[in-house]
Amino acid sequence: MDWQAHRREAHRLNRTQEFLKQIVYGGNDGIVTTFAIVAGFAGAQADGVAQIGGVAVLVFGLANLFADAVSMGLGEYLSARSQHDLYRSRRLSELQEIQENPDQERMELFEILRQRGLPAGEADTAAEILSRHPAIMADLMMTYEFGMQDPDEESPALNGLFTFGSFVIFGAVPLVPYFILEPTHETFLLSILTTGLALVALGLLRWNATGERILRCVGETVSVGTVCALVAFGVGWIVGG
């Protein structure tokens, strides 16, 4: 069993937990982005929607869905790659500082250890030992001095893929009623219902992964999505009103 598999097994990390950030971020944005199209048409009092049919909602909704999903996925990929590059650059600089100014870096580590609760004597001993191991010392300094975690355990490609997938899966939900029904007021109400259920499902997914209070996880997710949906509807109503 490799180290990554052992880590997941030992700490019971499943895919949802490993990629929770990407799933929630992509899913919430997908729901809101697609519902914004639906709400925009409805808010505009679009006799035009009825005239040109549900195809209008589907064309604009699907075009937006996949264009934004690709953008979000690639954005997450580039963000993770940038984080990797920044970490490596900063760590290399830290290793050079340890080599060029060992006493200064040792004192910095000593102060960090003291601030984290070690008594002065133990902090001094620990700093002295760690100063003989520059790589480990650099890792500690990256975490406690700069607040940066080693990103090598993360895969930028997988981060982007999970963001893309979550965006598409959750973002398609508001459009489902328009695939099977005519674009009436009742269809829009059904889209609101399915959107709400998608937000609840996303909140439950977050709750299942984190173990936090269910009302908090679901409530926050639904609240954020509702605010964004109301803004989209309001803009549509103002522009088309």
Tokens of 21: 């950030």
For the entire predicted model, the pTM comes to 0.76
- Considering the chain, what is the average pLDDT of its residues? 82
Spatial CA neighbour of 173 closest among 48, 37, 55: 37
Q: Which residues of 61-99 are buried (b: 16+ CB within 10 A; e: fewer)?
A: bbebbeebbeebbeebbeebeebeeebeebbeebbebbe
Residue 1 belongs to some domain of the structure = no
Tell me the pLDDT tens digit for each residue of 177-215. 988 888 778 888 898 899 999 999 988 888 887 778 889
Q: Is 47 left (phi over 0), alpha (psi -120 to 50) or beta?
A: alpha
Query: In terms of pLDDT, which residue wins out, 107 or 2?
Result: 107
Question: Has residue 3 been placed in a domain?
Answer: no
Q: For residue 15, is it left (φ>0), alpha (ψ between -120 and 50) or beta?
A: alpha
Stronger pLDDT, 167 or 56, i.e. the higher one: 167
Q: How far apart are CA 116 and CA 109, in angstroms?
A: 11
Tell whether the model's pLDDT for residue 47 goes beyond 60. no
Per the domain annotation, does 7 fall within a domain?
Answer: no
Domain presence at residue 13: no
Of 90, 89, 83, the residue nearest 21 (C-alpha)? 83
Q: Could you tell me the two tokens for 77?
A: 């990929």
How many Cα neighbours within 13 Å face the side chain of 129? 6
- pLDDT at 3 (0 to 100): 46
Average pLDDT over residues 165-178: 92
**Which domain, by its residues, includes 126?**
20-240
Give the confidence band of 228 by pLDDT, cuts at 50, 70, 90: confident
Between 145 and 161, the more confident residue is 161
Give 25's pLDDT tier (boundaries 50, 70, 90): confident
> With contact defined as beta carbons under 8 Å apart, do 27 and 202 qualify?
yes
Q: Where residue 77 falls among pLDDT bands split at 50, 70, 90?
A: very high
Q: What is the pLDDT of residue 10?
A: 44
Give me the pLDDT at residue 13, please.
53
> What are the tokens at 122?
């133990």
Q: Average pLDDT in the 34-51 region? A: 66
Residue 190 lies in a domain: yes
202 domain residue, yes or no? yes
Span 77-82, average pLDDT: 90
Residues 132 and 111: their CA atoms lie apart, in Å, by 17
Local confidence band at 32 (pLDDT 50, 70, 90 cut-offs): confident
Quote the CA–CA distance of 203 and 47 in Å, as a whole number. Answer: 35
Query: Pick from 118, 100, 111: which is nearest to 141 by CA?
Result: 111
Q: CA nearest 131: which of 157, 160, 105?
A: 105
Q: Is there a domain that residue 213 lies in?
A: yes
Tokens of 188: 């829009």
- Model pLDDT, residue 121: 86
Query: Is the predicted pLDDT of residue 161 greater than 90, yes or no?
Result: yes
Q: Per residue in 96-141, pLDDT tens?
A: 988 888 888 888 888 888 888 888 888 888 888 988 888 888 888 8
Residue 158 clears pLDDT 80, i.e. is over it: yes
Confirm whether 14 is domain-assigned. Answer: no
Domain count across the chain: 1
